[in-house]
Amino acid sequence: MDTFVVMPNHIHMLITISGNDAAIQTANSEAFKHPVAGSIPTIVRTYKASVTRRVVLLRVNPVFKVWQRNYYEHVVRNSKEYERISAYIAANPVQWDSDDENPAGRSQV
């Protein structure tokens, strides 16, 4: 995991995958119940499962869902794009007060 921020209701992260370009596969490259080791979907699924196990151990209501069903993925192709996305991730917490998903922010509008 490279640049990341954990927000109250979501997470942003850049995952750096090095090595063979064939390992950088998107959700369309996997068939149901046939994960591809090192692929983006397998990395994200493993991360979500690990976090979910830990959250269930720490909270009172283990039935409440931890994650939305899907996720957004984008392959960063150059350093300019990487810098833009990294800056967006770093600035995201500052924008939380005005975020539509922030219950406190909604009540102030």
47-66 pLDDT, tens digit per residue, is: 888 988 888 888 766 666 77
Q: What are phi and psi of 43, to 5 degrees?
A: -60, -50
Task: Give the separation between CA 76 and CA 83, rounded to whole angstroms.
Answer: 10
- pLDDT value at residue 41: 80
Contact (Cβ atoms closer than 8 angstroms) between residue 57 and residue 41: no
Tokens 């490259």 correspond to what residue? 29
Q: Which two tokens stand for residue 90?
A: 């770093």
The residue with greater pLDDT, 76 or 69, is 76
Contact (Cβ atoms closer than 8 angstroms) between residue 93 and residue 8: no
- pLDDT value at residue 74: 84
- pLDDT value at residue 99: 82
* Spans of all domains in the chain: 4-107
The residue with greater pLDDT, 107 or 48, is 48
